[in-house]
Amino acid sequence: MADAKHFKYIILGGGVAGGYAAREFSKLGLNPGELAIISKEAVAPYERPALSKAYLFPQGAARLPGFHVCVGSGGERLLPEWYTEKGIELILSTEIVKVDLASKTLTSASSTNFTYDVLIIATGSTVIRLSDFGVQGANANNIFYLREIDDADKLVAAIQAKKDGKAVIVGGGYIGLECAAALRINNLDVTMVYPEPWCSKYPFMSTIGSLLAPVTAVKLKDGRVLDADIVVVGVGAKPLVTLFKGQVEEEKGGIKTDGFFKTNVSGVYAVGDVATFPMKMYNEIRRVEHVDHSRKSAEQAVKAIKANEEGKTIEEYDYLPFFYSRSFDLSWQFYGDNVGDTILFGDSDPASAKPKFGSYWIKDSKIVGAFLESGSPDENKAIAKVAKVQPPVQDLELLKKEGLAFASKI
């Protein structure tokens, strides 16, 4: 294809995974002009979690270039000029509308063709919209979603235009809970609507979820109407795999990969939200939607690509599930699996000045998951180790009494 732009490596998607993959390529050796990132967004890769947190704050709000990758993991902030310095081509504001994996060709909305030797699919997820459920009035102009920086800018404008107004948050997950906190900080009257009996259904059970609800929750069962100047919808996301349908093996809603994020198509890898991969520690196939996995899976895929070129091998991906969130003064971390029986420990009284509490999940007489609110860095490391090691537990009452002290002994 003579008129196509050719690159040795193409990362399709300019989100968190795309940025971390680019950094890993640079670390492991990259010649100028070998790598391109193609993104439909207009900005270089950034840490997406900021959008539901500090980006919405009334004072000291986060703005680019402050949260470009890789600051979210404590690394160097990769400004647009970094990519230029490394000889990486950032192809922004470019939507790919057709993918032909057989001919290794990507086609943009403007009919530009790109060819590659190796493709990393890092297309992430797209929000689930009310229109997906056939909700009447789903396209009204006061309904907002939050996935990209353009979405956040629209929501910020609405918050400023509706000072002291009313907001309804549809959904009680991460986005819903964090947006509710941010809107309340902006002095909006916030009501949350969700079908579950508590906020943040994953990874929590009811005892913890109820402790984290920052605002009044309303379940609409009888046709009641909630006044609202702003409606923010956070009911989940779905992986962006449409372009690859019928061309690559899928499983559990994502693109099936091995422990190196290689698909069944030669030269094609998938990372982040779109990848369904072997969860080594649980001996099963899973798909994970979280920024931590997006970062680490991108790095693993690039390591595998470079090792393959050099005739070397690397260890398979061995991921410990990790989730975190911040709302108001609450800041929690969770590691492992939320299955089995639960033991709640610590001070979980909402009236306490500084509540510190947590929970262990026990299955087959082993701890398989651990949650901690308001933990120090060392304490968070301790519960992570517990979830990884999966120590045996014989006496649940003793475990409850020891609480965090048990983790410190592992």
- Beta strands 250-251 and 254-256 are antiparallel
C-alpha span between 80 and 190 (Å, rounded): 37
Catalogue all structural domains in the chain, each as residue range(s) with its CATH number: 5-126+238-309 (3.50.50.60), 129-235 (3.50.50.60), 329-409 (3.30.390.30)
- pLDDT of the residue at 230: 85
Whether the predicted pLDDT of 286 surpasses 80 = yes
C-alpha span between 32 and 97 (Å, rounded): 27
Dihedral (CA of 105, 108, 114, 118) sign: negative
pLDDT higher at 408 or 208: 408
- Beta strands 189-193 and 166-170 are parallel
Q: How many CA atoms lie within 13 A of 116 on its CB side?
A: 26
Please provide residue 10's backbone torsions phi and psi, each rounded to the nearest 5 degrees.
Answer: -130, 130
- pLDDT of the residue at 202: 46
The type of residue at 386 is V
C-alpha span between 298 and 294 (Å, rounded): 6
Give the mean model confidence (pLDDT) for residues 280-301.
Answer: 96
Sorted by sequence, the CB contacts under 8 Å of residue 168 that are 6+ apart come out as: 190, 191, 192, 193, 226, 228, 230, 231, 232
CA angle at 47 for the pair 233 and 314, rounded to the nearest 5°: 120
- How confident is residue 203, by pLDDT bands cut at 50, 70 and 90? very low
- How confident is residue 93, by pLDDT bands cut at 50, 70 and 90? very high
Sorted by sequence, the CB contacts under 8 Å of residue 382 that are 6+ apart come out as: 404, 407, 408, 410
Q: pLDDT, tens digit, for every residue of 302-358?
A: 999 999 999 999 999 999 999 988 766 678 899 999 999 999 999 877 777 777 899
DSSP one-letter string for 100-112: ETTTTEEEETT--
